[in-house]
Amino acid sequence: MLINAENQKLILRIIEQGVDQCATKLAAMSRADWDMRTTSLKAYAKPDDFAELKAPSQYFYGASCQSPGAMFLALFTSRSAAIITHAFLGKGRPDFKASPSMQELAVAEISNIVINAVASVLADRCGTPVVLSAPKPSRGARADIIQQAFGEFKPAGNIFSAYIHLAAPTLTTDCTLLLMLDDVTVNYLINVLAE
């Protein structure tokens, strides 16, 4: 399917509503305000389309969830993972220190909450449930995590992707969401939104 600019705007509006819900959920978990910094859309995405894959990559924590026709991935730098884990599990205790495996599990749960916020908005707008897999935690180079998510996603046709960057300035931390939808899902979404 050819996705025109008007269709991209329709999809972007829904995704941004979901991201607003993500920011609300992140704020509740971290006790800090989060806001959307950037959003980019790509109608026919491939792993190489993401500039960060070509740049040197630091260590990241992430988690992905899938449903038929969709893949959701949340990524946190190791620094951001430590900060958000401390806020989520440490409940303000300055002496709290999480191990890497504890951070991986905490990020997976945080990602699950954030991803479900976006999926819920999509489901509400489409009038159909979105059943997501359990979050699959990962850690390592950002490029490897994204390549792995693309490799596990089995789309029907082309991939439409949205790349969203959120930040909490007072915590100096951030989160990246990557949403991939296949042609069947995009067609359905566009038809529902056009009504």
Token pair listed for 51 = 């500039």
Report which secondary-structure segment, H or E, holds 56.
none
Tally of domains in the chain: 1
Other CB atoms within a 10 A radius of the CB of residue 62 amount to 28
pLDDT of residue 52: 56
Q: Tell me how many degrees the CA angle 16-138-159 measures, rounded to the nearest 5.
A: 45
Whether the predicted model's global pTM rises above the 0.85 cut: yes
50: pLDDT strictly greater than 70: no
**Mean predicted lDDT score pLDDT of the chain:** 84
Beta-carbon contacts of residue 8 (< 8 Å; ≥ 6 apart) = 41, 43
Beta-carbon contacts of residue 5 (< 8 Å; ≥ 6 apart) = none
> What is the Cα–Cα distance from 24 to 117, expressed in whole angstroms?
9
Per-residue pLDDT, averaged over 164-173, amounts to 88
pLDDT of residue 129: 86
Q: CATH code at 163?
A: 3.40.1550.10
Q: Are 118 and 31 in contact (CB under 8 A)?
A: no
Residue 166's domain comprises 5-194
Q: Are 45 and 138 in contact (CB under 8 A)?
A: no
